Amino acid sequence: MKKNFLSKVASLALLAFVLVFTSCKDDDEDQYTGPFNGSIDSVENFYNQDIVNVLNSFDFPINTGDTPPNIEGAYYCSPLVLESSNIPTDYVGNVFLDYEFTVSNQNTGDLTIDFEGEHTGGSQVDFGTGTFISGNGNDFTVYLKLTSQIGSTPAESAMVLSGTIAEDGIENLEYALLMIDNNGNPEGVYIPNNGGRHIVDYDGFSESITAEASRDKNQEGKFFFGK
């Protein structure tokens, strides 16, 4: 009797192990781990589910697809206004300093680009350390892992841009900005880790510019990743 009982216990334990192992294996198989291909699965793989959840909470538009338009060039974005945020001290309507960015070396095969951006009226500079683009037709979304710097301490951040390429610029450009690691924020200049903002170019058009363009440096407003 005791032997039969122990045999049943062993069988149940084996069954439980098989179920758990199979479940974990299925979860691993469901997680996309291939190269970036413009799908939402590859976006989650590039970032993580938490960042995608924040994007969804902002109702941020994501233009998936593996045939994005060519967006190489330099662009000037103004006025920049807060649409939504998970930072308690923010309020809808906050104004941010004008922003310029340059996109270069767009690769249609692996969907990569090079990105560099900065506020025209301040000292935050952003460099793309990992950058992909997705989209279809004239609609695109750019996904960036950035090193951002205000003051002397760099921070690791994420930026997502969505818009529609037009003849002389970008229509309906929107930004999602998320702080990944502010490195302790020793100077007190950054938003907190996991803080996020959804910002729009309020007039609906971000114009193409040349390197020689002169911009107003005397502005008032916030940095993208600033307190």
As a dihedral over the C-alpha atoms of residue 131, residue 135, residue 138, residue 139, rounded to 10 degrees, the angle is: -90
Q: What confidence score (pLDDT) does residue 50 get?
A: 84
- β pairing state of 205-209 and 169-181: antiparallel
Q: What confidence score (pLDDT) does residue 122 get?
A: 59
35-75 pLDDT, tens digit each: 999 999 999 999 988 888 999 999 999 999 999 999 999 99
CA angle 176, 159, 151 (to 5 degrees): 110
147-179 pLDDT, tens digit each: 888 878 888 889 999 999 999 999 999 999 998
117-130 pLDDT, tens digit each: 887 765 667 766 67
- β pairing state of 66-67 and 125-136: parallel
For all residues of the chain together, what is the average pLDDT? Answer: 82
Cα(201)–Cα(94) distance, integer angstroms:
12
Cβ pair 182, 158 in contact under 8 A = no
- β pairing state of 139-150 and 73-77: unpaired
Q: What confidence score (pLDDT) does residue 5 get?
A: 45
135-144 pLDDT, tens digit each: 999 999 999 9
209-223 pLDDT, tens digit each: 975 554 555 455 665
Q: What confidence score (pLDDT) does residue 57 get?
A: 93
